[in-house]
Amino acid sequence: MGKMIINGKECEFTNERNVLEVIRKNGFNVPTFCYRPDLTKDFGACRMCVVEIDGRMIQASCTTPPAEGMVIKTNTEKVRSIRKTILELLLANHDRECTTCDKSGNCELQKYSEEYGIKDADVKKFSQKKELLPIDDSAYTLVRDNNKCILCGACVRACDEHQGLGVLAFTNRGSRTVVQPMVGKDLAHSECIGCGQCAAVCPTGALTVKSYTEQVWEELMNPEKKVVVQFAPAVRVALGEMFGLEAGENMTEKLNAALRALGFDLVFDTNFSADLTIMEEGYEFIDRLNNGGKLPLFTSCCPGWVKFLELKHPDMVDHLSSCRSPQAMMGSIIREYIPQYYPEVTKENLVSVSIMPCTGKKAEAKRDEFKMANGGYEIDYVLTTQEIARMIKAAGIDLKNIKGEKADSPFGKYTGAATIFGVSGGVAEAAARTAYEVVTGEELKDVVINDMRGTHRVKTVELDLKGTKVKVKIVNTIAEAEKCIREIKEGKADYQLLEVMACPGGCINGGGQPISCNDSTIKEKRAQGLYQDDAQGEYRKSHKNPDVQELYKKHLEKPNSHKAHELLHTTYTNRRKDCYISAGE
C-alpha cells in the first residue's frame, strides 16, 4: 500500500508486482514487448517500458518494485528517444514485409512503430538485415519465422513456465542470438507438444499459428464438396473479441449462422461429442474403478497432454483414457453417420473441418490412429478461432449483427456439462455429474461443483458418490502435470482421476484463441462465459442429451460397446522416436 506520483497525478498502489502494473492500473500506458502479466519471471529485456523516476534516472518499469513517494514520468523526451531508438534498431534488423505477415494488424512492433511515427529513413540510418533465415513450417501446429523475432524471450518463458518443457531456447550470443529448439532441430522433431502458448505471447510474427484457411476456402468454393464443420466449446466465448465484443460473450448461434454464410454445408457442435466423451470416459472410469483397472485415469481430451505423455512418459500411457478427444469423436461420427442422415453427403465428397481454440488439435487430426483406409484423415482441416475470425471478416459477414441459428441435427444439441469442457476442471465436473447418477441411481440436484471451478493451476476435490469416495485432481499446464506424474511414480498419488489441460486455465486460453497476452482477466471472462452457458442450458448432464441418447439407441447400443470402441476410442504409442530426445536410446 502506498502512493506515488505518475505524470503529476497521485496514484495509489497496493500489491502490484512492479511500477508498470501501477502505471497501467492508473490509466496510463507504456509500451512493452517482453512483459507478459501471466509470466512470472520478469525479464526486463525489451526496455520499451523505461520511465524516468526522480532520483533514480531511467528505469525499466517492469522490473522496478513500487515504492512510497516515487515520482514517475512515463513520457519524457529521454524515454521517448530511447523507445524510438529501440524501435528503429528492431526494424533495421527485421523482415519488414508487414503486409504479407501473418501477424499484420495484431503485431505489437507494427503498432508501436506506427504510434511512435517511425519512418523508413529512421530505420535506414542503421545497418539493414541482410540474409533471411529459413522459415520452420515443419510442424502442423505452428510456424517459426526467426526473421520476425525480436528476442523478447516471451515464448521461451511460456514454454518453460507453463509447460516445463523448454522446447524453445536462446542459442548463440549477442546479435547472433536466435530462439530455436534444441540443437537447431525443427519444431516437428522437437519435444514441442503444439500447445501454441509461445505463439500466444509472441509480440510479432515470429511464432504464428499454421494457417489452413486457404485450403478450407478452396473446399468451400468447390461445388462438388460437402463441407461439414464442428466447433469446440471454448471457441464460442472468445470469437467475439476479434469483432470488438467483450470476452466471454457467447457466440454459439451467431457462429452457426456465420459458418453457414461462409458456405459450410452442415454445422455441428463439438459440445455434442463432449457429452459423448463423458458417456464413454465416465463408463470407462467406473469400469476401471470397479474392476481394478489402471488408476488414476487420465483424461485424454487435450492433445498437448497426450503428446507429452507419449514423448516423455510413454510408460504411463496406459493411464490415459482410451477415449478419443471430443474433436476426434465428432470426426468419426461425422464420417460414419452423416451420410446416413444426409444422402447428398457421400464418403467421397465429404470434407470435415473443425474449429478449435487449440493449435495442438491440428497435429492431433494428423495422428496415424485417425488415418482412413484411403490415406486421408477423418478430419481434413483444423482451424483455430483466429483463423475462422479472419475468414468471417474476409467474407464480409457482420458477425455482431447476424441473426443466430441452431446447429444441424442430429448431432447438434449439447448440455451444460459439455460446454464447460473448455475450462480447466470442466471435464471433471461434467464427469462427476454423470458418474453420480450412474453410480448412485439417484438424481443429482445441485450440479455445480465450485471446487472444480476457476482457472488456477491445481485443484483437488473429493467426491462422495453415496459412500463411494472418489478423489479427483485437476491441473492445467504441463509443468503441473509433470508434478502429478512424479507423484504417481513415487506412489504418492491418492486420487483416481486426473484431469489435465495443457494451456493455463484450459482451452479458453488455448494457443489458437484471439491474442490476449497483455490482459490476464480475459481468460477469466471466457471461463465465466462458459459457466453461464452451462447455467442457461436446457440440459446440464451429458447422459440427458437427447441426441446422445438417440445415437446410442440407434447406432452404438451402449457406452463402451464394440461399435463405440471402434469409433470413439483410440490407442497411444511411444513417440520418442519422432523426436531428438530418442537420440542415444
Partner 1 sequence: MTLNIDIKEEQKKSQEQMAKQGLRVLVCAGTGCVANGSLNVIKKFEELGANVSTLTAHDKMTIVPTGCHGFCEQGVLVIIPDMHVTYVKVKETDVEEIYESHIKEGKPVERLLYTDPNTQQHVFKNEEINFYAKQTRTALANCGKINAECIEEAIAVRGYEALANAIKENNPDAVIDTIEKSGLRGRGGGGFPTGRKWRFTAANKGGKSYVVCNGDEGDPGAFMDRSIMEGDPHKLIEGMAIAAFAIGADEGYIYVRAEYPLAIKRLRKAIADAEAKNFLGKNIMGSDFSFDLHIKEGAGAFVCGEETALIASIEGERGMPRPKPPFPANKGLFGRPTLINNVETLANVPVIMLNGADWFAKMGTEASKGTKTFALTGDVNNTGLIEVPMGTTLREIVFDIGGGMRDGKKFKAVQIGGPSGGCLTEEHLDIPMDYDNLIKAGAMVGSGGLVVMSDKTCIVEVARFFMNFTQNESCGKCIPCREGTKNMLAILQKIVDGKGEMEDIETLETLAKNVKEGSLCGLGKTAPNPVLSTLKYFKDEYIAHIKDKNCPAGVCTSMTTYVIDEEKCKGCSKCARNCPVGAISGEIKHPYTIDQDKCIKCGVCVSNCPFKAIERK
In angstroms, give the least distance from the CB of 31 to partner 1: 12
Active-site position among 49, 301, 358, 517: 301
Q: Select which of 507, 516, 525, 579 is catalytic.
A: 507
Q: CA of 199: how far to CAs of 48, 103, 184, 195, in Å?
A: 20, 10, 19, 9
If the CB atoms of residues 42 and 437 are measured against partner 1, the closer one turns out to be 42
Helix H, strand E, coil C: the string for 160-188 is HHCCCCCCEEEECCHHHCEEEEHHHCCHH
At its nearest, how many Å lie between partner 1 and the CB of residue 119? 14
Catalytic-labelled residue, pool 281, 310, 378, 480: 281
Q: Report yes or no: 479 and 504 within 8 Å, Cβ to Cβ.
A: no
Residue 256 as a binder of partner 1 (CB under 8 A): the answer is no
**Closer residue to partner 1 in complex, CB, 153/205:** 153
Q: Residue 126 interacts with partner 1 (CB under 8 A)?
A: yes
When the beta carbons of 20 and 417 are compared against partner 1, the nearer one is 20
Catalytic residue, from 52, 369, 437, 487: name it: 369
Residue 174 CB coordination number (10 Å): 5
- Report the candidate in 155, 131, 158 with the shortest Cα–Cα distance to residue 208: 155
**How far apart, in whole angstroms, are the C-alpha atoms of residue 126 and residue 87?**
12
Interface residue with partner 1, options 14, 29, 75, 85 (CB under 8 A): 85
Is 68 a catalytic site residue?
A: no
Residue 481 neighbours by CB under 8 Å, 6+ apart: 305, 308, 475, 498, 500, 502
State yes or no: residue 82 binds partner 1 (CB under 8 A).
yes
Is the Cβ of residue 61 or residue 163 nearer to partner 1 in the bound state?
A: 61
Q: Is 15 in the site for partner 1 (CB under 8 A)?
A: no
Contact segment (CB under 8 A) with partner 1 among 122-130, 250-258, 301-309, 386-394 equals 122-130
Does the protein bind partner 1 through residue 43 (CB under 8 A)? yes
Q: Judging by DSSP bridges, how do beta strands 226-231 and 350-356 pair with one another?
A: parallel
Q: Under DSSP, is residue 550 helix (H, G, I), strand (E, B) or coil?
A: helix
Contacting residue, 46, 278, 391, 475, with partner 1 by CB under 8 A: 46
Read off the C-alpha cell for 264: 459450410
Could you tell me which stretch among 166-174, 188-196, 391-399, 518-526 binds partner 1 (CB under 8 A)? 166-174
Mapping DSSP to helix (H, G, I), strand (E, B) and coil, where does residue 52 land? Answer: strand
The residue annotated as part of the active site, out of 300, 321, 322, 354, is: 321
- Give the separation between CA 8 and CA 108, rounded to whole angstroms: 28
Concerning whether 155 is annotated as a catalytic residue, the answer is: no
Site for partner 1 contains 176 (CB under 8 A): yes
> Site for partner 1 (CB under 8 A): which residue of 101, 150, 329, 365?
150
Among 29, 75, 104, 172, binds partner 1 (CB under 8 A): 172
**Applying CB under 8 A, does 42 fall inside the site for partner 1?**
yes
For partner 1, give the closer residue by CB, 57 or 583: 57
Residue 351: CB partners within 8 Å, gap ≥ 6? 219, 225, 226, 227, 228, 380, 381
Per DSSP bridges, beta strands 50-53 and 57-60 are antiparallel
Least distance to partner 1, CB of residue 150, Å: 7
Report the alpha-carbon distance of residue 301 to residue 411 in Å, rounded.
19
Q: Would you say 300 and 369 are in contact if contact means Cβ atoms under 8 Å apart?
A: no
> Binding to partner 1 by residue 476, rule CB under 8 A?
no
Identify the residue among 77, 100, 119, 125 touching partner 1 (CB under 8 A): 125
The amino acid that residue 2 corresponds to is: G
Candidate residues 174, 223, 467, 584; the one interacting with partner 1 per rule CB under 8 A: 174
The residue among 138 and 163 lying less far from partner 1, judged by its C-beta, is 163
Contact characters 334-363, partner 1, x per CB under 8 A: ------------------------------
Please confirm, yes or no, whether 507 is among the known catalytic residues.
yes
Alpha helices in 140-243 (DSSP H): 154-161, 197-201, 213-221
Q: Which residues pair with residue 377 across a beta bridge?
A: 371
In which order are the strands placed within the sheet that holds 497-501?
Answer: 297-298, 497-501, 468-476, 458-465
User: Measured from the CB atom, is 46 or 251 closer to partner 1?
Assistant: 46
* Cα 86-88-90 angle, rounded to 5 deg: 65
* Stretch near partner 1 under the rule CB under 8 A, chosen from 56-64, 183-191, 255-263, 549-557: 56-64
CA distance 514 to 401: 20
**H or E segment at 57?**
strand 57-60
Is there binding between residue 183 and partner 1 (CB under 8 A)? no
Among this protein's residues, is 301 annotated catalytic? yes
Is residue 168 a contact point for partner 1 (CB under 8 A)?
no
- Asked whether the CA dihedral 538, 543, 545, 549 is positive or negative, the reply is negative
- Binders of partner 1: how many residues, by CB under 8 A? 36
What is the C-alpha to C-alpha distance for residues 401 and 305, in angstroms, rounded to an integer?
Answer: 38
Instruction: Work out whether strand 226-231 and strand 266-269 pair parallel, antiparallel, or are unpaired.
Output: parallel
Q: Which three cell numbers stand for residue 260?
A: 453457414
**442 catalytically annotated:** no
Q: How far is the CB of 88 from partner 1 (least distance, A)?
A: 9
Q: Give the integer Cα–Cα distance in Å for 280 and 565.
A: 9
How near is the Cβ of 152 to partner 1 at its closest, in Å? Answer: 8
Q: Does 57 bind partner 1 (CB under 8 A)?
A: yes
Among 71, 89, 98, 444, binds partner 1 (CB under 8 A): 89
Look up residue 359 and give its DSSP letter. S
Would you please indicate which residues are annotated as catalytic (active-site) residues?
281, 284, 301, 321, 361, 364, 369, 507
Residues lying near partner 1 in the complex (CB under 8 A): 42-47, 50, 57-58, 60, 63-65, 78, 81-82, 85-86, 89-90, 92-93, 125-127, 150-151, 153, 169-170, 172-177
